[in-house]
Amino acid sequence: MPKPFDKLTAIAAPIMRSNIDTDVIIRIERLVGNNARGTLGKWAFGALRYLSDGSENPEFILNREPFRQAEILITGPNFGCGSSREGAVWSLQEMGIRAVIGSSFGDIFFANCFQNGILPIVIDSEIVDALASEVEVTQGAGRISIDLKAQSITAPTGQQYRFEIDPRRREGLLQGLDEVALTLVRDPEIRAFQAADRAARPWIHFASKTA
Amino acid sequence: MGYPGRTMLAKIWDQHVIAQVSDDTDLLHVDRHLLHDLGGSRGLLDLKNRGLKVHNPELTFATPDHAISTARGRAGMTKIGLDLLAALRTETAASGIHMFDVDQPGQGIVHVIGPELGLSLPGSLIVCGDSHTCTHGGLGALAFGIGSSELTHVLATQALIQRRPKTMRVRFEGERPPGVTAKDMILALIGHVGAAGGTGHAVEYAGSAVRGLSIEERLTICNLSIELGAKIGMVAPDETTYAFLHGRRYAPKGVLWDRAVAEWRSLASDPDAVFDKDVLIDLSSLVPQVTWGISPEHVIGVTGRIPDPQAIDDAVQRTAVETALHYMGLKGGEPILGTPIDWVFIGSCTNSRLSDLRAAAGVARGRKVAPTVCAWVVPGSETVKRDAMAEGLDKIFMEAGFEWREPGCSMCLAANGETVAPGQRSVSTSNRNFVGRQGPGARTHLASPASAAAAAIAGAIADVRALER
């Protein structure tokens, strides 16, 4: 079950490159075991975070204080594009990220965030840029506040921005809802649909023991 | 009357709505759920841990592809690949799910076997824990990739909660010039609209040039929909579609076939349907495409020049190009043609079907791979492998110096120890040239199978038109 998300005031780290794909967020070989979860935090952004000898890349923002403590990422456009791997979200979560602010996201990554209690905020690129530069000006000291109920972001200067979010997803995050459990309650509707559909499109349904 | 026409997306979507969840979000029925070795057993174990059973095992199919070795005789199986294969066998058997196992017809890359077996049907809703599930849209299916949590949700309920996407139509018009393949068409589109150009949209590919494509070519086009940000790509079914599907193992037969085709004929978007976005691509001046950077949108004609950061005014854009050139070890402003390469990979869910192998073999026949190049051909499925061998394509490749391998995802995502070494340059028929995609530090150029074969022969990025006979 996802952890509920309500309000957050935290250090934010801007990673403003565009098209940061989920391969860059977490490499596939970190995900191929069945026991990878819980070990992914240190591998998030591995290609950017570590040099080829395995040491930390001092140039990368998440290796610098206070950004090491960041719970919010401010990102360039099309963040999380590419592979469907939910490990990308898990790795961010395991390194302490709870919200990602950007002007656009890869669709599957965006959906995966909600499944894990991470809030992805879509907002105009001018506002993303403004937030990033305010954070940079204060060397990360200026914290960002997010209020999901009020759908607002407060910048280090106190400037407030409103963001839009699908009400169903907002409710899901606020309450930490379990989608599987919610859908299972509707199982009679699923079975009724299948019974009718078996008559309408019999070529879709193979012999079923479960119906 | 007076209603605007409906899009194919709307028609298929509406037919799958079990319940409306909110204004623009529905609980949808999943007709086909495909599992692979990377996430399949994990999903089934998640389900077991929650004390739940697979809702419709007969609508769920599995095959190993991502983490298995493609070495001859599977000689290169890694510990993790073996573990994932064993787990997929155990968990599918326990759940009553059919798995197409290694060396059996039906095994292969999930997005190759679905169409090949007739599991992917027009108007059906198909999901898989893999972003390239959009491939199946080439047959007129509504198909998209999902994450692990959604995968568990589908196993438990045979349904999925989804927000209805906006619609985008891409019309390809004009005559295709020589050397220009389906891969070149879709790469050109991504270059035109950008890697986020389709985000939040379901893309319908239309226009005379799409109508003229074979199903395998349509699958290639739809495969790269995710690389323009769209998780759905589709082509309206037509006579080409029905001819492709007729007689396939899981396609309807007899009276049911006739009923199904009658239904499928109604799926195409109405002539007056309105799309949220419309794009037109004129093919008549297109040349074979190749990527130079680290996103599929970093693409140029093979005779073109690599972008010069000095000529870019926008600082953000300039930095992005500099970053890509640095990783790729290339200089801005230079021609890409003639760039020396170390690797060629012909395979992946984009370009590993029989027609792809035929196109590559057509270029390779009677020629030799450059001595500096290591070139692999990885068929997309056991059936593709057997069909290609029956035609003697394996011999053509091997005589030219290519390595002929077993079916799987292989070097496309390098999840199985099959990687391009750091700093080495590869021309690949796959779908992603991301940083590290083919191995840490690997440099990938995306191209068509014929262009990749031409590069293998030349030992450098080459213009396939000079080699075509």
* Chain-chain contact of A209 with B58 (C-beta, under 8 angstroms): yes
Name residues whose C-beta falls within 8 Å of residue A153's C-beta, 6 or more positions apart in sequence: A101, A121, A123, A127, A131, A144, A145, A146, A147, A160, A161, A162, A163
Span A77-106, mean pLDDT?
97
The answer to whether the bond into A77 is cis (omega within 30° of 0) is: no
Q: What are phi and psi of B21, to 5 degrees?
A: -100, -40
Distance CA A156, CA A147 (A): 14
Contact in structure between B206 and A111 (CB atoms under 8 Å)? no
Strand order in the sheet with A99-102: A12-15, A72-75, A99-102, A119-122
Q: B231: which chain A residues are within 8 Å (Cβ-Cβ)?
A: 107-108
Distance CA B182, CA B319 (A): 31
Under 8 Å CB pairs connecting chains A and B tally to: 194
Give me the pLDDT at residue B316, please. Answer: 86
A83, A116, A165: which to substitute to probe chain B, counting the most B Cβ within 10 Å? A83
* Chain-chain contact of A205 with B260 (C-beta, under 8 angstroms): no
Nearest-CB residue to B147 (from A76, A111, A205): A111
Give me the pLDDT at residue A209, please. Answer: 44
Q: For residue range B185-207, what is the model confidence (pLDDT) as tens digits?
A: 999 999 999 999 999 999 999 99
Q: A32: which chain B residues are within 8 Å (Cβ-Cβ)?
A: 38, 67, 80-81, 84, 415
Give me the pLDDT at residue A34, please. Answer: 58
B80, B199, B321: which to substitute to probe chain A, counting the most A Cβ within 10 Å? B199
* Chain-chain contact of A19 with B263 (C-beta, under 8 angstroms): no
Q: For residue range B225-258, what is the model confidence (pLDDT) as tens digits?
A: 999 999 999 999 999 999 999 999 999 999 999 9
Three-state SS at A31: coil
B226, B253, B416, B419: which to substitute to probe chain A, counting the most A Cβ within 10 Å? B226
Give me the pLDDT at residue B4, please. Answer: 79
The tokens describing B322, both together, are 């500099």
Q: What are phi and psi of A41, to 5 degrees?
A: -55, -45
Q: A125: which chain B residues are within 8 Å (Cβ-Cβ)?
A: none
Distance CA B223, CA B234 (A): 10
Q: Return the percentage of chain B with pLDDT > 70, whole number.
A: 99
Nearest-CB residue to B147 (from A29, A112, A187): A112
Query: Looking at the predicted structure, is the pLDDT value of residue A210 above 50?
Result: no
Query: Looking at the predicted structure, is the pLDDT value of residue B303 above 80?
Result: yes
Give the closest-approach CA distance of A9 to chain B in angstroms: 28
Give the closest-approach CA distance of B134 to chain A in angstroms: 12
Nearest-CB residue to A180 (from B153, B158, B231): B153
Q: B38: which chain A residues are within 8 Å (Cβ-Cβ)?
A: 31-32
Query: Looking at the predicted structure, is the pLDDT value of residue A211 above 50?
Result: no
For B393-455, give the DSSP string. Answer: HHHHHHHHTPEE--SS-GGGTT-SS--PPTT-EEEESSS---TTTTSTT-EEEE--HHHHHHH
Smallest CA–CA distance from A202 into chain B, residue: B256
Smallest CA–CA distance from A80 into chain B, residue: B229
Name residues whose C-beta falls within 8 Å of residue B392's C-beta, 6 or more positions apart in sequence: none
Contact in structure between B186 and B221 (CB atoms under 8 Å)? yes
Nearest-CB residue to A32 (from B19, B80, B440): B80
* Chain-chain contact of A84 with B147 (C-beta, under 8 angstroms): yes
Smallest CA–CA distance from B227 into chain A, residue: A82
The tokens describing A54, both together, are 């395995």
Q: B408: which chain A residues are within 8 Å (Cβ-Cβ)?
A: none
The tokens describing B250, both together, are 């899981």
Side-chain-side CA neighbours of B372 within 13 Å: the count stands at 11
Lowest mean pLDDT among A31-45, B103-117, B288-302: A31-45
Strands B17-22 and B201-206: unpaired
Nearest-CB residue to A82 (from B260, B434, B441): B434
Give the closest-approach CA distance of B399 to chain A in angstroms: 34
Span B35-53, mean pLDDT?
95
Q: A206: which chain B residues are within 8 Å (Cβ-Cβ)?
A: 58-59
Distance CA B401, CA B377 (A): 10
Q: B67: which chain A residues are within 8 Å (Cβ-Cβ)?
A: 32
Contact in structure between B68 and B408 (CB atoms under 8 Å)? yes
Three-state SS at B225: helix
**Residue B250: other Cβ atoms inside 10 A:** 18
Contact in structure between B335 and B439 (CB atoms under 8 Å)? no
* Chain-chain contact of B29 with A115 (C-beta, under 8 angstroms): no
Q: For residue range A21-63, what is the model confidence (pLDDT) as tens digits?
A: 999 999 998 888 656 788 899 999 998 999 989 999 999 999 9
B21, B120, B142, B153: which to substitute to probe chain A, counting the most A Cβ within 10 Å? B153
Q: For residue range B117-144, what is the model confidence (pLDDT) as tens digits?
A: 999 999 999 999 999 999 999 999 999 9
Side-chain-side CA neighbours of B456 within 13 Å: the count stands at 31
Query: Which helix H or strand E contains B282, and what residues bound it?
Result: strand B277-282
Contact in structure between B424 and B339 (CB atoms under 8 Å)? no
- Give strand pairing partners of B344: B375, B427
Smallest CA–CA distance from B43 into chain A, residue: A34
Give me the pLDDT at residue A208, please. Answer: 53
Name residues whose C-beta falls within 8 Å of residue B40's C-beta, 6 or more positions apart in sequence: B62, B88, B91, B92, B129
Lowest mean pLDDT among A140-144, B5-9, B57-61, B302-306: A140-144
* Chain-chain contact of B435 with A107 (C-beta, under 8 angstroms): no
From residue A123, how far is each of A77, A98, A112, B197, B406 by CA, in Å? Answer: 10, 17, 18, 17, 46
Name residues whose C-beta falls within 8 Å of residue B191's C-beta, 6 or more positions apart in sequence: B289, B297, B298, B299, B300
Query: Looking at the predicted structure, is the pLDDT value of residue A123 above 60?
Result: yes
B49, B52, B91, B158: which to substitute to probe chain A, counting the most A Cβ within 10 Å? B158
* Chain-chain contact of B413 with A28 (C-beta, under 8 angstroms): yes
Smallest CA–CA distance from B262 into chain A, residue: A201
Nearest-CB residue to B29 (from A24, A85, A197): A197
Q: For residue range A146-178, what is the model confidence (pLDDT) as tens digits?
A: 999 999 999 999 999 999 999 999 999 999 998
Smallest Cα–Cα separation from B31: which of B139, B145, B159, B132?
Answer: B159
The whole-chain average pLDDT of chain A stands at 93
Span B63-91, mean pLDDT?
95
